[in-house]
A and B are shown apart, each in its own frame.
Chain A
Amino acid sequence: MSTVTDHAHHEDDHHHHAPSGIKRWLFTTNHKDIGTLYLWFAFIMFLTGGAMAMVIRAELFQPGLQIVDPHFFNQMTTVHGLIMVFGAVMPAFTGLANWLVPMMIGAPDMALPRMNNWSFWILPFAFTILLASLFMEGGGPAFGWTFYAPLSTTYSGDTTALFVFSVHIMGISSIMGAINVIVTIFNMRAPGMTWMKMPLFVWTWLITAFLLIAVMPVLAGVVTMVLTDKFFGTSFFDAAGGGDPVMFQHIFWFFGHPEVYIMILPAFGIISAIVPTFSRKKLFGYASMVYATTSIALLSFIVWAHHMFTTGMPVAAELFFMLATMLISVPTGVKVFNWVATMWRGSLTFEVPMLFALAFIVLFTIGGLSGLMLAIVPVDFQYHDTYFVVAHFHYVLVTGAIFSIMAAVYYWLPKWTGKMFDITLAKWHFWCSLISVNVLFFPMHFIGLAGMPRRIPDYALQFADFNKWISIGGFAFGLSQLLFLWLLIKACRKEGEPVSDQVWEGAEGLEWEIPSPAPYHTFETPPVIK
């Protein structure tokens, strides 16, 4: 990925003197370079957050406290969540958007290239601040990634200020990235690239970008209220001063629920690109996919309180949020049915991106179905805050969002580097990940139903055996990702067989019509779309 320029230089030298070395990356305004930076950053964060998950699983390997104390354990669960959400999944999707959106709509670059540089380069600072707080007196944030007040205000450590500032920076970065995507898609489509001709990845990202602009300011607001409650004597969330701790949860989840769709809509776009390619058949219902994505995005604004059924809401509110949440499964089902109908009577082959896409469809659907169960308020009282919930959201985020990111990387990597990746290694990576991820997350359904609460460093004896299995699955899944690291390093060193422009038989779209590897500058003259 990183050496794409070598090829492009001789063509561009006459009008473009790109800096080399570290300055190339620091000052770059090229969407491909920035995409690469985002993707590597996300992968480093994925390994960092994963290392914290290993600490958690090591402590939970058997009952009793062995490795870490409960206070540090809480810091690990908190920072693991924050890093995976804001450091791994979201930047990875932004990286893919940077690489792909201009290439897919026939634009020469993102619309706002300098802001693009800025939105990436503030991210390392945000995460340095967050991670540094772990080493300070009192430790890092220990109140869960959802930072419920008053645990995060009156009862938190002084490093909460650093947590707040790092979340602010992440939010600013996301908003800038989202603005860039929207402006690019609205203004820079090639002539003839009408709305309903745009690839679904572009559509899903456009809708995601609107969600980001709508809810990231809400997150910024709620962390600021936490900051002023803790340090400046306000009482937004303190009943003693006229506030309400449950109001925190309403504001947080008004951000938080659209946030989970921010982390899955681009995945729908990716799967909708990969499945038709390897089925050699058009996507069954393009228009209904666009409408389904839009409905999911709109519904995501009226379901937030399904995270809060046990907080003591009125029955009418519980019924409303239950019904609205159940409704989301209709457009989500439309998507799954569409993918399956696309495969039906296709001509299927099972290259690595397709393997990840198929695993996504099955495992994401399992996560979706457990989500439907969680929507049913009376049983949610039993599921809420247990490992059943942990199983649910890891199925949709790990085997959902992260598997889709891996599928995307395998799908477009040959276009980026011009070389086919090491297929044997990739298949090892796939099968090891697939098996271990299910050993890791499937038994969590059982211990959750049997009554194990989440976010506890030690547990009752009846949960011991499943926890041991889960930890073994966790370590295996963690190690499997080192295969991915190795494969990516080889790919960036340009090892492998050269690929054709189309790369995959059956791949369609503008990005497959340009040379492989994609030149440093593409579509300086807009292509004509039939």
Chain B
Amino acid sequence: MKKTMSGAVAFLTGILAFPAIAESTSQLDQYQLNLTKGVTDISAEVYDLHMLMFIICVVIAVAVFGVMFYSMVFHRKSKGAKPANFHESVKVEIAWTVVPFIILIFMAIPAAQTLIAMEDSSSPDVSVLVTGSQWKWHYKYMDSDVEFFSVLATQPEQIANKFEKGINYLLEVDRPLVIPTGKKVRFLVTSDDVIHSWWVPDFAVKKDANPGFINEAWTKVNEPGIYRGQCAELCGKDHGFMPVVVIAKEPAEYEAWIAEQQDIQRRAKEEEQKLLAMNMEMGELMEVGERVYLATCAACHMPNGEGLPGAFPALKGSDMALNDMQAHIDIVVNGKAGTSMQAFGKQLSLKELAAVITYERNAWGNNTGETVQAKDVNALVTGQ
């Protein structure tokens, strides 16, 4: 945090030089005042349009307030001003209706051109399905079988003010979206639950994720780099905690990355198959389970398993967690329709599912002593 004095100075200069100062991307800019120019042709056009609008508005404001302040200074009763008696003038009134109208036309033409370019998502090179859900993003590359969830990576302790906050506080995720530079990337945006909005300021892309519908947006990034954004539509409790991080790589690097991801995903599946034949120890299950629980479940059910009464049910002492193991596995894997409880079957591995269910059945005094194994979960998934 800067000192108050320098803060005050920066604040004042900021107001005086509003459009002039707007730089720096790599480090924190406490006093960024203006819209970003971004890293695409479209975002630069949007920035220019924004500045054009801003300057027109400032000129109008200066003219109107100038006349008004002139009156306030020179037409005061205390200076002996006598009121004039003029009113109603058709000429003046036509002028101040027509002139603004012409100014508006000059604003609308470039705006319409940019808009039409922005909405043309035809013939993309790469398509990514972007799915929002409470409170994470899921990315699926349509041209390969790579898909993954992208979740906030900031430690809860930083949010709770126990640890010092990192430079990318609340703007970091465990697995960023990777896209190639210089290629037209189309985003197919949708949602699994409420409305979210996928926003990366540097691309000038903000598109609502509507459940049951697919919206399209596109970008063509010029420079490799890491670009950060956030969910822009109120989507419930942790709306402020679902950032978007996109890494733009050179096309060759991007291809290599895709190949690597495919490999990793294939090996993970093989691991899962091996796991089905084994039994894990309670200690290991609890350890993995706690990690998964805190990352995935604690946002609603709370780290102490007590939930939020009236909004999210408690797991501690719940009948399902203490008695009905099949129902418990079912609700975690398939979710519960019409509630915020998501289907975690596709979000977590069999091992993680088994561990977290074991954890929920044995933590906070829920001491059932039972373990859930990957094969138990698999039995339900495959319907055996």
> A residues within 8 Å of B by Cβ?
63-66, 70-71, 74, 136-139, 142-144, 148, 150-151, 154-155, 157-159, 238-240, 244-246, 279-288, 310-312, 315, 318-319, 322-323, 326-327, 329-330, 333-334, 336-337, 340-350, 358, 361-362, 365-366, 369-370, 372-373, 376-379, 381-382, 384-386, 442-443, 446, 449-451, 453-462, 464-466, 469
Can you list 12 A-B contacts with CB-CB less than 8 angstroms, sorted by A residue number?
Answer: A138-B310, A245-B212, A279-B83, A311-B208, A311-B210, A345-B81, A349-B76, A365-B65, A370-B57, A372-B107, A381-B118, A461-B28
With A64-B161, A71-B308, A372-B57: A456-B97 Cβ-Cβ less than 8 Å: no
* Interface residue range, chain B: 35 or more
> B residues within 8 Å of A by Cβ?
1-2, 7, 10-11, 14-15, 28-36, 45-46, 49-50, 53-54, 57, 60-61, 64-65, 67-68, 71-72, 75-78, 81-89, 92-93, 96-97, 100-101, 104, 107-108, 111-112, 114-116, 118-119, 134, 158-161, 165, 167-171, 189, 193-195, 197, 199, 201, 204-208, 210-213, 215-216, 229-241, 308-311, 338-340
* Choice from B36, B84, B100, B309 contacting A329 with Cβ under 8 Å: B100
B contact residues around A137 at 8 Å (CB)? 309-310
B contact residues around A65 at 8 Å (CB)? 159-161
| Contact between A246 and B213, CB atoms less than 8 A apart | yes
* Choice from A285, A361, A386, A450 contacting B93 with Cβ under 8 Å: A285
| Contact between B169 and A373, CB atoms less than 8 A apart | no
In the complex, residue of chain B having the shortest beta-carbon distance to the beta carbon of A278? B77
| Contact between A469 and B33, CB atoms less than 8 A apart | no
With A279-B83, A465-B30: A285-B339 Cβ-Cβ less than 8 Å: no
Question: With A and B bound together, what is the CA distance between A340 and B370 in angstroms?
Answer: 79
* Choice from A281, A286, A345, A453 contacting B231 with Cβ under 8 Å: A453
| Contact between B111 and A322, CB atoms less than 8 A apart | yes
Highest count of chain B CB atoms <10 Å: which of A245, A287, A342: A245
* Nearest-Cβ distance from residue B216 to partner chain A, whole angstroms: 8
In the complex, residue of chain A having the shortest beta-carbon distance to the beta carbon of B156? A65
* Nearest-Cβ distance from residue A332 to partner chain B, whole angstroms: 9
| Contact between A456 and B239, CB atoms less than 8 A apart | yes
* Nearest-Cβ distance from residue A311 to partner chain B, whole angstroms: 5
* Nearest-Cβ distance from residue B46 to partner chain A, whole angstroms: 5
With A64-B159, A382-B50, A450-B32: A310-B207 Cβ-Cβ less than 8 Å: yes
In the complex, residue of chain B having the shortest beta-carbon distance to the beta carbon of A137? B310
| Contact between B159 and A458, CB atoms less than 8 A apart | yes
| Contact between A326 and B104, CB atoms less than 8 A apart | yes
Question: With A and B bound together, what is the CA distance between A158 and B313 in angstroms?
Answer: 13
Question: With A and B bound together, what is the CA distance between A318 and B112 in angstroms?
Answer: 9
Q: A311-B208, A312-B189, A462-B29 are in contact. List 16 more A-B contacts (CB 8 A).
A: A63-B170, A139-B311, A154-B339, A155-B134, A239-B212, A280-B77, A285-B93, A315-B115, A323-B108, A329-B100, A344-B75, A370-B57, A376-B111, A446-B34, A456-B230, A461-B169
* Choice from B15, B32, B134 contacting A462 with Cβ under 8 Å: B32
A contact residues around B68 at 8 Å (CB)? 340, 343, 358, 361-362
| Contact between A340 and B67, CB atoms less than 8 A apart | yes
Question: With A and B bound together, what is the CA distance between A378 and B206 in angstroms?
Answer: 10
| Contact between A246 and B210, CB atoms less than 8 A apart | yes
Question: With A and B bound together, what is the CA distance between A159 and B171 in angstroms?
Answer: 33
* Nearest-Cβ distance from residue A291 to partner chain B, whole angstroms: 10
* Nearest-Cβ distance from residue B303 to partner chain A, whole angstroms: 12
| Contact between A376 and B107, CB atoms less than 8 A apart | yes
| Contact between B239 and A284, CB atoms less than 8 A apart | no
In the complex, residue of chain A having the shortest beta-carbon distance to the beta carbon of B94? A288
With A239-B213, A310-B208: A378-B87 Cβ-Cβ less than 8 Å: no
With A312-B207, A333-B100, A466-B31: A381-B46 Cβ-Cβ less than 8 Å: yes
| Contact between B204 and A381, CB atoms less than 8 A apart | yes
* Nearest-Cβ distance from residue A122 to partner chain B, whole angstroms: 27
With A148-B234, A343-B71, A381-B204: A136-B212 Cβ-Cβ less than 8 Å: no
B contact residues around A381 at 8 Å (CB)? 46, 118, 204-206
| Contact between B230 and A453, CB atoms less than 8 A apart | yes
